[in-house]
Amino acid sequence: MSEIKPNDSAPTEDSGEEKDWAEAKAFFDNLKTNKPRPPKPQYAVTIAVSSRTLFNMVAERKIYEEEGLEKYVAYQVEHEGEPLMPGAAFPFVKALMQVNSRLRDLYPDSEELFDIVLMTNNHAQVGVRLINSINHYDLTIERFCMTGGKSPIGYLKAYMTNLYLSKDSEKVTEAIEEGIAAATMFSSMRENELSDTQLRVAFDGDAVLFSDESDNITQEQGLDTFLAHEKEYENKPLPQGPLKCFLVALGKLQRKFYAKNERMTCPIRTFLVTARGEASSKNRVLKTLRSWGLEIDEAFFLEGAPKGPLLQKIKPHIFFDDQMFHIEGAKELGTISAHVPYGKYHKEKPIEQPAKKE
């Protein structure tokens, strides 16, 4: 009985997508432009930002809330020749572009880059001012999603989003419930000078990189029970939190620089800034990261001390935390912050509590 071989000429869905992408890329490559083309989504680290995080639209938002949609659209059309001022996510986006520039120098043909998508519920007419503003600041943003008043959250998976940043906490919560890393952005109350050669990202631990299991134990059963729990499960990795996948993506890009002997000049640096302090709880965090195959460049265990002063020294382009009092403290001292509304979201079943001794 002869072996049945697959028909190599039969078209497949994947081969069709590859052909479409190749044709589109060839078309854009033939255009005379110095602006780099965006990477293929399946290989990129896709960062979706809302228009109100990328640009400062406080005045425009006030028109919308007080005078309605039509007046808002008319104002945007009337002022479409005036670039919008930078918003909270603007320095972060610029830093992403700097990393891309370094990656292209080392890996000219690589598709493993940051891809920035403007994800907004604005109407297309408002899009003209947004595009003009993007061009004014020479931002490399080529993909857009403008949903005309409807929530864009349903499109995040279609864009293969690794991180979604918005000013709307309800949309952020909706995104997290869909399994997408997301945070609500807040502008700082003063300006800190940020690095223009290195992307600096700071993370809280519990309920951000890790699940909120430990936070829940502390709140419901007290600090002593939490410490006993951490000692009992010191060698048990913590369940993952909503932003683990983003740290994984950053680590993957960092390793591309390490492979070229660029560890000391890597343009991505990550920080863990956590309120944890007791030895066993520190060990559990570090062992969890190790079990995930991840490195963190700098780790700070503050044992409940305020995070703002330390963040003022770190000067991250973005700081993620699930507690608003940490966000407020960071903002006051000039740190651009992003709130992760973790809630009761779990990817794994919480570890059973150790039995109380009689």
Give the catalytic positions in this structure: 204
DSSP bridge pairs for 300? 273
Nearest CA among 312, 302, 167, 176 for reference residue 244: 176
Nearest CA among 63, 208, 74, 91 for reference residue 129: 74
User: End-to-end CA distance of the chain, in Å?
Assistant: 72
Nearest CA among 60, 94, 88, 100 for reference residue 76: 60
84 and 120 Cβ atoms separated by less than 8 Å: no
Q: What would the DSSP string read from start to end of 155-202?
A: GTTTTTEEEEEES-HHHHHHHHHTT--EEEEE--SS-----SS-EEEE
> 27: exposed, middle or buried (C-beta count within 10 Å: 0-12, 13-18, 19+)?
exposed
Q: Are strands 182-186 and 337-339 parallel, antiparallel or unpaired?
A: antiparallel
Q: What residues contact 301, with CB distance under 8 A and at least 6 apart?
A: 274, 276, 277, 282, 285
Q: Could you tell me how far CA 77 lies from the centroid of its own chain?
A: 30
User: How far apart, in whole angstroms, are the C-alpha atoms of residue 126 and residue 63?
Assistant: 14
User: How far apart, in whole angstroms, are the C-alpha atoms of residue 250 and residue 292?
Assistant: 13
Helices then strands, counting H and E runs in the chain, come out as 13, 12
80 and 132 Cβ atoms separated by less than 8 Å: yes
- Give phi and psi for 213, each to the nearest 5: -55, -50
Going from the C-alpha of 289 to that of each of 8, 231, 271, the distances in angstroms are 43, 17, 12
Q: What residues contact 302, with CB distance under 8 A and at least 6 apart?
A: 273, 274, 275, 276, 277, 310
